[in-house]
């Protein structure tokens, strides 16, 4: 009899677990979300995704989210991707390139995958076109506008500017963005000096190496490893009297001088609409990649600007001061 009740208890527990996953609080849909790292822009993406889905009628009363954060650890990212896909969610969402790529690899076309915060979804080393049942949204930087902003804030005019860029060797999107800067170097009269790292531990040495090359400023990308260690870059650059330009408002708030910034909440919201389309029957392959062509603002930090003895360029008189 004891054995019977033990077996019965185990079966009931399993049933409850399955019900809890498939329909927490009566949820009709399960969305698996894998975020690569903890920082403001990616957090804002997730916030926007939930808001966009809610606006389309997919609030938390009908959607259950399984959310994992790899915290920048590639091994965990791969493990979490496999775990989430094995749960057989209705849609899997990858926030940032490594997580989105890991999910697409794990899904093998069987589960629709939606990416966001992927700068170049057609990058040579991370081309999402090679997968079936995958779509998403890009946080591609407006590189030419960013260069114009840098030259204006530094009051360089037609003078040459030497820009230092720190990136992670495994971030395909960072390499793609640097290539865009380099392609405009002659036209814009700039010199790009870049330095790659493999781990966060290499960042301080890489920063020192770039400073030693006589750069006029740093330009920070949306590179996840570098963004997670932004304070190290800001501290070292400030000590050397070198301003850092960012790539989104969170970076400017933390101490970068200025940025052509993407609204990551809005990017997430638009991504939420794409997920809603899939829940309503569209195939991910039917949905084109989304680029927010007009989703950028210019943000600057007046406290940082004044600390470098700079003034707001007239052409950016309407820019957003986040200080």
Query: Are residue 69 and residue 99 in the same domain, yes or no?
Result: yes
Query: Are residue 82 and residue 131 in the same domain, yes or no?
Result: yes
Query: Are residue 315 and residue 177 in the same domain, yes or no?
Result: yes
Query: Are residue 86 and residue 201 in the same domain, yes or no?
Result: no
Query: Are residue 176 and residue 301 in the same domain, yes or no?
Result: yes
Query: Are residue 253 and residue 224 in the same domain, yes or no?
Result: yes
In this predicted structure, what is the pLDDT of residue 171?
A: 83
When mean pLDDT is compared across 99-108, 137-146, 231-240, the lowest value belongs to: 137-146
Whole-angstrom Cα distance, residue 267 to residue 102? 21
Over residues 260-315, the pLDDT tens digits come to 988 899 999 999 999 999 999 999 999 999 988 666 889 999 999 999 999 999 99
pLDDT at 17 over 60: no
Query: Are residue 37 and residue 103 in the same domain, yes or no?
Result: yes
Structural domains of the chain, count: 2
Q: Residue 130 sits in a domain of what CATH number?
A: 3.40.50.2300
Over residues 34-81, the pLDDT tens digits come to 999 888 889 999 999 999 999 999 999 999 999 999 998 989 999 999
Asked if residue 176 is part of any domain, the answer here is yes
Query: Are residue 118 and residue 176 in the same domain, yes or no?
Result: no
Query: Are residue 189 and residue 85 in the same domain, yes or no?
Result: no
Containing domain of residue 59, as a range? Answer: 26-140+264-291
pLDDT at 5 over 80: no
- Kindly report the three-state secondary structure assignment for every residue of the chain: CHHHHHHHHHHHHHHHHHHHHHCHHHCCEEEEEEECCCCHHHHHHHHHHHHHHHHCCCCCCCEEEEEEECCCCHHHHHHHHHHHHHCCCCEEEEECHHHHHHHHHHHCCCCCEEEECCCCCEECCEEHHHCCCEEEEECCCCHHHHHHHHHHHCCCCCCCEEEEEEEECCCHHHHHHHHHHHHCHHHHCEEEEEEEECCHHHHHHHHHHHHHCCCCEEECCCCHHHHHCHHHHHHHHHHCCCCEECCCHHHHHHCCCEEEEECHHHHHHHHHHHHHHHHCCCCHHHCCCEECCCCEEEEECHHHHHHCCCCCCHHHCCCEECC
Query: Are residue 184 and residue 311 in the same domain, yes or no?
Result: yes
Kindly report the number of other CB atoms within 10 A of residue 288's CB atom: 8
Over residues 184-210, the pLDDT tens digits come to 999 999 999 999 999 999 999 999 999
Name which residue leads in pLDDT, 39 or 118: 118
pTM (global) more than 0.85: no
Asked if residue 225 is part of any domain, the answer here is yes
In this predicted structure, what is the pLDDT of residue 6?
A: 42
Asked if residue 40 is part of any domain, the answer here is yes
């Amino acid at each position: 009899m004891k054995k019977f009740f033990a077996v019965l208890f185990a079966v009931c527990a399993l049933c409850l677990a399955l019900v809890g996953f498939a329909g927490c609080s009566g949820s009709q849909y399960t969305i698996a979300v894998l975020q690569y790292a903890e920082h403001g822009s990616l957090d804002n993406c997730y916030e926007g995704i939930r808001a966009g889905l809610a606006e389309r009628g997919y609030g938390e009363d009908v959607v259950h989210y399984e959310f994992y954060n790899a915290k920048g650890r590639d091994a965990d990212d791969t493990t979490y991707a496999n775990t989430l896909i094995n749960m057989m969610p209705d849609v899997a969402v990858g926030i940032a390139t490594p997580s989105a790529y890991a999910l697409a690899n794990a899904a093998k076309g069987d589960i629709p995958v939606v990416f966001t915060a992927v700068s170049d979804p057609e990058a040579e080393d991370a081309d999402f076109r090679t997968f079936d049942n995958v779509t998403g949204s890009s946080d591609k930087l407006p590189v030419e506008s960013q260069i114009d902003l840098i030259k204006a804030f530094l009051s360089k005019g037609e003078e040459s500017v030497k820009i230092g860029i720190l990136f992670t060797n495994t971030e395909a999107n960072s390499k793609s963005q640097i290539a865009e800067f380099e392609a405009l170097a002659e036209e814009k009269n700039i010199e790009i000096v870049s330095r790659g790292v493999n781990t966060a531990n290499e960042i301080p040495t890489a920063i020192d190496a770039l400073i030693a090359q006589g750069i006029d400023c740093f330009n920070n990308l949306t590179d996840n490893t570098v963004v997670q260690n932004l304070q190290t870059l800001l501290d070292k650059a400030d000590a050397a009297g070198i301003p850092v330009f960012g790539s989104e408002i969170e970076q400017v708030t933390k101490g970068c001088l200025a940025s052509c910034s993407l609204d990551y909440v809005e990017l997430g919201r638009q991504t939420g609409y794409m997920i809603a389309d899939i829940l309503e029957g569209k195939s991910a392959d039917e949905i084109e990649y989304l680029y927010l062509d007009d989703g950028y603002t210019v943000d600057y930090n007046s406290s940082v600007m004044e600390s470098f003895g700079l003034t707001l360029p007239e052409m950016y008189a309407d820019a957003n001061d986040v200080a």
